Amino acid sequence: MLKLEPMRVLLVFFLLIFPLHFSCAESLIKDEAAAYREEGLQLQAMGDFEGALGYYLKAAYMDPTLIQAYNDAGVAYESLGNEKSAEQMYLQALEKDPRCGPAHTNLALLYEKQGNIKKATQHWKARYELGDENNYWWEKSLQHLLKLGTYPEVRKEILETQAARLSREIIFKREQKRIDNLQQAKHHMRVGNKAFAEGDYEISTEEFRKALSLIPTDDKLVEEALNLYKRSERLLARERVAANAKSALDYMKDDDYSSAKRRLEDALDAVSRITQEQ
């Protein structure tokens, strides 16, 4: 057992230090790939597309996440007359990042040059949707779509897509509102039921009324709330009839027959309403 102890310590040491070294190595590789790409850009600026291509391919090989290197390699291939390889590099860039604007632009121009209107439109449309209104490439995409004669269809499709998305958002918001209202209605029902059980018909009537205002689409809950609301309102009216009658008697004891009359009329009106609802 004692002989194994130093090995264990060494193993733990490597397990702790390896991720750090791996992270540093990965960062160095990415930096070197970016440097290769810069070398390529410099050679391309001098017109040496073949030399630039070599650096771009090295950069893409070293760091497959460096999307720009794939697009740059496509530009170099196209400048050297190799349209097939250029197309493949642009497509690889889009495979890694479907929102890579330059790759969409380069593919659109390539397909337009080849007379492939359908594919050119597809990528100009994608570039158009990626740009903000009045942005340079938004304007360029629009101009090319107009030139190809496909802008009206693209615009119609974009508007239909936006309309469909808006409809989904409205439906979602309505459903969310319905769920929120239902939860609030159930809360008012619970409070109303508690008040009803305690004989507080004023509060229960108000709570059931609130519940009813929130649940116009839930038939079962509406029926329950409506029945409870009517019972609560009837009991509340009955309490008020009794209170008005008692108040009328008190006024009569004090010889205040005018006030007693008003209280009795209020009581009789309440009795009439209860009778009509039965």
CATH no., domain 163-277: 1.25.40
DSSP designation for 82: -
Rounded distance between C-alpha atoms, residue 11 and residue 171, angstroms: 58
Burial, 240: exposed, middle or buried (Cβ in 10 Å; 0-12, 13-18, 19+)?
middle
Contacts of 227 (CB under 8 A, 6+ apart): none
The whole-number pLDDT of residue 218 equals 57
Asked, colleague to colleague, whether 28-162 and 163-277 share their fold, the answer is: yes
Rounded distance between C-alpha atoms, residue 230 and residue 245, angstroms: 22
User: Residue 276: pLDDT band by 50, 70, 90 thresholds?
Assistant: low
Task: Give pTM, 2 decimals.
Answer: 0.52
More confident call, 129 vs 19: 129
The whole-number pLDDT of residue 80 equals 96
Establish how many alpha carbons lie within 13 A of residue 252's alpha carbon, considering only the half-sphere containing its beta carbon: 11
Model pLDDT for residues 195-245, shown as the tens digit of each residue: 888 888 888 888 888 888 887 655 666 677 677 777 777 777 777 777 777
Rounded distance between C-alpha atoms, residue 149 and residue 209, angstroms: 60
Model pLDDT for residues 62-94, shown as the tens digit of each residue: 999 999 999 999 999 999 999 999 999 999 999
Rounded distance between C-alpha atoms, residue 69 and residue 118, angstroms: 27
Rounded distance between C-alpha atoms, residue 272 and residue 250, angstroms: 23
Domain ranges of the chain: 28-162, 163-277
Q: Which of 3.10.105.10, 3.30.70.2660, 1.25.40.10, 2.60.120.10 is the CATH number of 28-162?
A: 1.25.40.10
Give the chain's mean pLDDT: 80
| Cβ–Cβ under 8 Å, residues 89 and 70 | yes
Residue 112: pLDDT over 60: yes
